[in-house]
Amino acid sequence: MNNIVKISPYLWEIPQSGAMQVPGRIYASEQLMNQIQKDESLKQVANVAHLPGIINYSLAMPDIHWGYGFPIGGVAATDAHSGVISPGGVGYDINCGVRLLRTNLSADFIRPKIKNLVTTLFNAIPSGVGSHGAIRKLSRKDIRNVILKGAGWAIENGFGHSDTLNFIEDNGCLKNADPDMISERAYQRGMPQLGTLGSGNHFVEISKISDIYDETVAARLGLIKGNVVVFIHTGSRGLGYQVCDDFIKVTLQATKKYGINVPDRQLACAPLDSQEGKDYLGAMRCAANFAFANRQVISSLIESVMMKSLTMNPNDMGLQLIWDIAHNIAKIENHIVGGKQRQVCVHRKGATRAFGPGSPDLPAEYHDIGQPVLIPGDMGTESYLCVGTPKAMLETFGSSCHGAGRVLSRTQARKKSMGRNLYGELAKAGIFVMAQGKSTMAEEMPDAYKNVTEVVNTMHEAGITKKVARFTPMGVIKG
C-alpha cells in the first residue's frame, strides 16, 4: 500500500489498478492512518474494489481494521441490478447495532446508586457466550414471527411501546425477510436468546452527558448536559451468526457458478438478481429483524429494572428512545450517482447509516436535523452522538463510522492485560463494570481500541457527520 495518495487532510485514496473496478478511499487523520497501516485492512479495501458492479469507491471509515473479507469499517455500494451481494460485506453478527435512550435523571442522582443499579441490570440481562433465559424460550413459530416483525413483535408481546418504532432504523423491521431461508440450526440457536446481550464488545452502559456541541440539535433530542443516557450494543446473536455461516458456503459455490473472480475467497458473493443473492438477502433481513427485536426486549428489561431499583414511575424516569442504528447490514437504497438517482445495494460492515437532513427515510422529528449517528466507546472511553450531513449523501452513500476500531487483536489485548487489575483501573476513573469473565475484560480493555475522539473528529472535520454530544461512562455490563 505504498501508493496511497493523500487527497485532503482527512481523506486518502488507493488508486485503481489491476482488476480493481474502482479506487479505494479511506477517511482518516494522519495519526489514524499511521495506525491503520499496521494491519491488512488497506489491502482489504483494495480487494473489495474488485467486486462486480461496485460503484464510485471501495470506502473505509476511520475505525477501519482487519475483518472477514471486508475490513471492519468498510462500505461498498454495488448496482442493485448488475452488482453482487457478499456476506463478508455484512459480517457474522448481522445487524449488530446501537440503541441510545435518554432519561430525566441527573448523573449526580445516579452516581451513588450506580453499583446497585449495574448489579441489578447484570443479573436481569443475560450476557456472555451462549447466554439465554432473559424471557421464556420461544418456539420455532415464535421465532418465525420475530424475524418477520422485528421490534414490532417485541412491542406486541409487551416489551415497550409502539411510539418507539418511529425512532428505529427502518422502523425496526426490514421488509421482504424470508423465514424459509433460515436453517433449522439458526432457528434452534435463536429460540433461547432473545433479550440477551452476548459476548465480546457488546454492552449496556449508563453514561453521563458530559458535553453538548450543538445546542439546537441536542435540545431537539432531549439531551441535557449532566443527565444520564443508556446505551445498548448487541446484535442477532447465534441466529445471525448461523445465517452468515450458512450463506458463506452458498456464495462460495455461487462465486464459482457465475464465474466471479475476486482476490480473496472471503469475498465470496452472488449476483443480486440470482437466486442465491435473493436468498441471502431474505435470510439476512430475518437476522436483522431478530436483532431489532433483541434490542427492543433489552430496552424493556432495562426500564423495568431501573424503575424497581430506583423506585420510580416511567414518567419521572423519562426513559425514551433517541435512535436505534444498525451496523453490519446490506440495504437496497436510492442514491444520487453521477447526478442521477440510482438503486444500489449498500454494504455497511462495521459502519452505520448517516443520512443527512431531508432524507425521506427519517422520521418527521429528525427531517431537518439529519439522522442521529451513534458512535460508542468501550468501557473506559467516551461515546458520541452525531448527525448525518448532505456531504455524507454525496460521498459515502450516507455512511459513517460505528465505533473506535481495534488496534490490538483479542490475543494481543489479553497479553497486554496480564498482571493488571482492569476493574480497579476503571473504578479509579469512576466507572463500575461487571463482566462474565476476566477474558472479556482483557479483550475489551480501552487500550485495545483507537482513540474514539480522534475517529469522531475525523468524520466531523471531513464533513460526513456533525458532532452533537459526548458521553462518559459511569457503569457498564459486558458479556
Query: CA-to-CA distance for 477 and 479, rounded, in angstroms?
Result: 7
Residues 6+ apart with CB under 8 A from 4: 12, 13, 14, 26, 33, 42
Known catalytic residue: 402?
A: yes
Q: For residue 341, list its beta bridge partners.
A: 336
C-alpha separations of 206 from 66, 109, 197, 253 in Å: 29, 13, 15, 45
Check if the beta carbon of residue 128 is closer than 8 Å to that of residue 437.
yes
Q: Which of 202, 233, 327, 402 is catalytic?
A: 402
Active site residues: 402
